[in-house]
Amino acid sequence: MSSSSMPTALVTNSTGYAGPPAVDALGEAGFRVLVHDRQFSDQAVLEEFLQLHPHAEYVRAESPAGLPGAAMNVTGRLDAIVSNDHYPAVQTASEKASLEDLRNTLEVLVVEPFAMLQAAIPHLKAQGRGNVIVITSCRTHSPIPGGAIPDSARAAANAMVRSLAVELARHQIAVNAIAPNFLYSEAYYPRARFIDDPVGRAYVETTVPAQRLGRPDEIGEVIRFLATTQAHFLTGAIIDFNGAWPGCEVRPT
């Protein structure tokens, strides 16, 4: 298959969270996978990522809003977009919370994804199809004290997905979210703390009904399905990826 006839996917913020499994799963599914990440301004980081993920191709853009156009300039098509959005979760009592932290969190988790998808819409409409997958979070299912900032941003991102789905459904553009919690990633559930450390591992085993963290390859499978499906009637879904969390505390048998 020539590169011009290959389906194209764009994966944002590709070094972390669900980025690496998205790149690998989509590449294995036959996509030409364009990647972007702020960390790629460091040439060593970019080269290491491309070595680890041979399906990836770097696309340059000055801002998230410039990414869809840059991708179209490279391939002339944009079949799937994975907006893989992550930011350190600020956990602090609301009375002491910094408004700057709130603004920064909203900027990365809501404003930048919206700007990127807003710029993509004309291209997707012109194609008459497209699959958009936004990686959000289901942390709001069981709020914890001090989590108002990340909870607000993730709730807003999930609401954005539902609204965009309503707006774009008649154009055969599906917009869905995958909302993880307890997914292994160095961004939120790092190996040293939640896999290698017996205390952290025990916490996961008693908190998550599946008694483990989700594997990156598992979320990769879900991303691949949503990126390849022609069932555009499936849109506006927020798919929880959480091992049945929150559930009753799991007690050892």
Write the CATH number for 120: 3.40.50.720
Q: What is the mean pLDDT of residues 162-173?
A: 98
Token digits for 249? 């505390």
Q: Does residue 165 lie within any of the structural domains? A: yes
pLDDT at 3: 56
Does 62 map to a domain?
Answer: yes
CA distance 218 to 148: 29
State the residue for tokens 């049945």: 244
Q: Is residue 56 in some structural domain? A: yes
Task: Answer positive or negative: Cα dihedral of 118, 139, 234, 86.
Answer: positive
In a domain, 3, yes or no: no
The boundaries of the domain holding residue 68 are 8-241
Q: Residues 37-90: pLDDT tens digits? A: 999 999 999 999 999 999 999 999 999 999 999 999 999 999 999 999 999 999
Contacts of 21 (CB under 8 A, 6+ apart): 216, 217, 219, 220, 223
Closest CA to 149 of 141, 140, 158: 140
Other CB atoms closer than 10 Å to residue 251's CB: what's the count?
6
57 inside domain = yes
Give the Cβ contact number of residue 14 at 10 Å. 25
Q: How far apart are CA 87 and CA 185, in angstroms?
A: 12
Question: What pLDDT does residue 5 have?
Answer: 78
pLDDT tens column, 85-141: 999 999 999 999 999 999 999 999 999 999 999 999 999 999 999 999 999 999 999
Residue 134 near residue 108 (C-beta atoms within 8 A): no
Mean pLDDT of the chain: 96
58 lies in a domain? yes
Q: Where does the pLDDT of residue 186 fall: very low under 50, low under 70, confident under 90, or very high at 90 and above?
A: very high
* Residue 142 DSSP SS3: coil
pLDDT at 253: 55
Q: What is the predicted pLDDT for the residue at 164?
A: 98
Contacts of 5 (CB under 8 A, 6+ apart): none
- Kindly report each contact of residues 44-48 with a partner whose C-beta sits within 8 Å and lies 24 or more positions away, as own/partner: 45/15
Helices and strands (H, E) in the chain, number of each type: 9, 7
Phi and psi at 103, nearest 5°, equal -65, -40
Two tokens, residue 33: 């996978």
Is there a domain that residue 250 lies in?
no
Grade residue 4 by pLDDT with cuts at 50, 70 and 90: low
**Domains in the chain: how many in total?**
1
Domain membership flag for residue 1: no
Helix (H) or strand (E) holding 127: helix 112-127
Residue 204: pLDDT over 80: yes
Is pLDDT of 1 > 60? no
- Split at pLDDT 50, 70, 90, the class of 247 is confident
Asked whether the beta carbons of 9 and 18 are under 8 A apart, the reply is: no
Please name every residue paired with 174 in a beta bridge, in sequence order, or none if there are none: 131
